[in-house]
Structure 1
Amino acid sequence: MSRHSVLGWPVLRQLKNKDPFARGESTKSKKSRTLAPRIAEADRVVKSVCPYCAVGCGQLVYVKDEKVIQIEGDPDSPISRGRLCPKGSASEQLVNSDTRVSDILYRAPKSTEWVKLDHETAMEMITDRFIEARRKGWQDTDDDGNRVNRTLGVAGLGGATLDNEENYLIKKLFTAAGAIQLENQARI
């Protein structure tokens, strides 16, 4: 039978194999019989949440050799039921992009150059600055003499890509530190 023979048409195979709804072997080509899913080679699957918006669609992240090879919607997610928007579907490209910055970069005031920092140094710098700003802006009492125990030197801005639990913990952290200026991107 030649490659373009009418006898090889799927409709004729369906009728010949008594498969009128095309749900059986008659609809498979030689090529489709050899195909395997992209996720078949994954070492493990990690459940995650899409990073793009506040909806919180569930994702299944397929990992092979500690590298993300595919990201799909999580059918067990009550929010998205296995579906992802175009941005969520492109999450794998975000993770594996050659242009993704994965180093901690710091630019000193009035400097034009970025400097790479190690994690420990960056965390120490953030902690020192947070504590100093809190100390400088601390108020024991307001103008009327009422005890307030607060700081105006620190403010918090939450993001809509964080889930409720993360925003809750950030709110608790800033409140415990005495900050009263707390806002979220979703309200702005």
Structure 2
Amino acid sequence: MPRFSFLEWPVVRQLRDGDILGRGTAVTSQHTRDKKPRTVEADHVAHSVCPYCAVGCGQLVYSKDGKVTQIEGDPDSPISRGRLCPKGAASEQLVNSPRRVTTVRYRRPHGTEWEDLDLETALDMIADRFLEARRRHWEETDEKGRTLRRTMGIASLGGATIDNEENYLAKKLFTAAGAVQMENQARI
């Protein structure tokens, strides 16, 4: 560690360098001057949208060697104009967290432990349960003989992180399946 020099004391640097108000380089340490933004070393920048709410703030996702290194607001976004809320600004942690679950987790009925399932098995289980609930709770007509063609055994609670196109497709899917209970977290 280099020996401290009185000439490098910030007040002396202010007077020596003419930075009397202490708003320039005189008040920054060498350690601070040596720092570089994480975005400088990125080898790729992708335009994205924040995954947390329905606002749709634009993000610039910086990566190096295939790993996300920084996420910042996109100044070209007409929605957020380069700004992100605290959650959006911290979304890099969503990608790089060592606690991030990257497998399908399943806990059997009355089970106490979680187990990993492959995606194909999980999707088959969801489809089977969806179709069984639809079949079991199908209502063709009401008590007066009026046509219903609906099921009360399926409901949809959408998240605010999907965009209009995905919401449109989800609405079409559940309507085609006969579901009448469709809601979104933004309304609740």
Matched, 1:3 2:7: yes
Structure 1 Cα separation of the partners of residues 57 and 141 of structure 2: 45
Distance 1:156 1:5, change over 3 A: closer
Distance 1:5 1:41, change over 3 A: closer
How far apart are 1:12 and its partner, in Å? 5.3
Give aligned-pair identity as a percent: 62
TM-score by length of 1: 0.82
Matched, 1:50 2:54: no
CA contact (8 A) 1:13 1:27 kept: no
Specify every segment of 5 or more residues in structure 1 that has no aligned partner in the other structure, as ranges: none
Structure 1 Cα separation of the partners of residues 99 and 9 of structure 2: 49
How far apart are 1:82 and its partner, in Å? 0.6
Structure 1 equivalent of residue 69 of structure 2: 69
Structure 1 Cα separation of the partners of residues 53 and 16 of structure 2: 48
Superposition map of 1:118-137 within 5 A? 118-137=118-137
Q: For the aligned residues, what is the CA RMSD?
A: 2.8
Letter in 2 for 1:37: P
Structure 2 equivalent of residue 59 of structure 1: 59
How far apart are 1:122 and its partner, in Å? 0.7
How far apart are 1:157 and its partner, in Å? 0.5
Structure 1 equivalent of residue 101 of structure 2: 101
Distance 1:62 1:6, change over 3 A: closer
How far apart are 1:30 and its partner, in Å? 6.0
Structure 2 Cα separation of the partners of residues 7 and 114 of structure 1: 60
Matched, 1:13 2:17: yes
Structure 1 equivalent of residue 164 of structure 2: 164
How far apart are 1:118 and its partner, in Å? 0.7
How far apart are 1:117 and its partner, in Å? 0.4
Letter in 2 for 1:61: V
| 1:3 alignment partner, SS class | helix
Letter in 2 for 1:13: D
Structure 2 Cα separation of the partners of residues 48 and 11 of structure 1: 46
